[in-house]
Structure 1
Amino acid sequence: MSKAVNVLNELLVNLFNDILQIEQNALQSGDFKDLSVTEIHTIEAIGMYEPRSMSEVAGDLGITVGTLTTAINKLIKKGYVERKRIEEDRRVVLIQLTKRGKLAYRIHEKFHSDMIKATIGGLSKEEEEVLTNSLEKLNIFFKDKYNLKHKGE
């Protein structure tokens, strides 16, 4: 392996681990100590506005409905999510965020926004474009190589 490949590998692994650790630390030091990173990402996948079906959310997260059911049951117990049946067909169960869930969503969204601002804060417009284009290419490569869904599919 070339030096560049070794450096890039180390940077990607460290960056991934650091972001997860920073996210976990931010959760643990805030008002949402009872949430794991996985749970906050589940809250993020449910979204703020429209109730969603379990299969939609499971698909977005790339997990089975069974796995999601376990996570949702925990989030319901913690007061972040609620189940809702639709009047037209009582068999259809949708999930949505509670007020507390929406607050967690907003705070997590701000965390990501602050992290991005800090990341690009000292960059010139050209450096910002190079970074964005490089990360987009990397993202597409990984998604195609490992058959992952592209955002919006």
Structure 2
Amino acid sequence: MDLKQKIWDQWVLMLHKQEDRAKRREALLLEQIRKSMPDYDEVADLSITELHVIQSIGEKGNVNVTSLAQRIGVTKSAISKITSKLLKKGLIDRYQLEDNQKEVFFRLTSGGESVFSFHEIFHRRLERQMLSFLSQYSDSELEFLQRVMRDATVEMEKSWKNQ
């Protein structure tokens, strides 16, 4: 088997393992949020997409439907549905600026802030693990890895557009 085929096989294996791990991580994160907020029934059925919207609002502050859709990579109608659910759950508020009554903005409530903080802690732990793992490589190896990942990302985006 040639080296390119070995790299492809390893790439596929890594993607499958990452997908499985991501599902387990998401389930664990949602379970930990539910346990940390037992008196807050609204988080019992929180979806990972709703969590991403909370994360985006928490990171950017006051955002509108368009900016949320762009940040998360979904349609504006999908964001409208998700924000409606989060509004009902009391995790976000909607408001309008005095000088712009056409546009609707969102911000986190105290419950939303709690979910956001928990998610941030979870992500920082994952980041520390990855940075620790990467510390075993030289700068030149890391630069090469960065180039491969950037090129692979561009290639994936091209192939998605063509499908």
Q: In which range does the TM-score fall when normalised by the shorter chain?
A: 0.7 to 0.9
Q: 2:147 aligned with 1:125, yes or no?
A: no
Q: Which runs of 5+ in 1 are unaligned?
A: 148-153
Correspondent of 1:53 among 43, 46, 64: 64
Question: For the residues of structure 2 that align with 1:132 and 1:47, how far apart are their CA atoms?
Answer: 31
Q: Which runs of 5+ in 2 are unaligned?
A: 38-42, 159-163
Q: 2:49 aligned with 1:38, yes or no?
A: yes
Correspondent of 1:72 among 83, 86, 103: 83
**Where do residues 128-147 of structure 1 align in structure 2 (5 Å cutoff)?**
129=139, 130=141, 134=145, 137-143=148-154, 145-146=156-157
Q: Secondary structure at the match of 1:146?
A: helix
Gap change, CA 1:50 and 1:120, over 3 Å in 2 = closer
Gap change, CA 1:48 and 1:60, over 3 Å in 2 = closer
Higher helix share: 2
Q: Computing the radius of gyration over CA atoms, which structure comes out larger, 1 or 2?
A: 2
Q: Deviations over 1:54-108 (max 9, x none)?
A: 1111111111111100000001111111110111122221111111112211110
Gap change, CA 1:17 and 1:80, over 3 Å in 2 = same
Q: What is the percentage of aligned positions where both structures have the same residue?
A: 22
Q: Which amino acid aligns with 2:7?
A: A
Counterpart residue number, 2:115: 104
Question: For the residues of structure 2 that align with 1:139 and 1:97, how far apart are their CA atoms?
Answer: 33
Q: Secondary structure at the match of 2:107?
A: strand
State the shift of 1:29 in Å: 3.0
Q: Which amino acid aligns with 1:34?
A: D
Correspondent of 1:16 among 2, 15, 19: 19
Gap change, CA 1:140 and 1:33, over 3 Å in 2 = farther
Q: Please report the TM-score for the alignment, with normalisation by the length of structure 2.
A: 0.75
Question: For the residues of structure 2 that align with 1:18 and 1:81, how far apart are their CA atoms?
Answer: 29
Which shifted more, 129-138 or 42-51?
A: 129-138
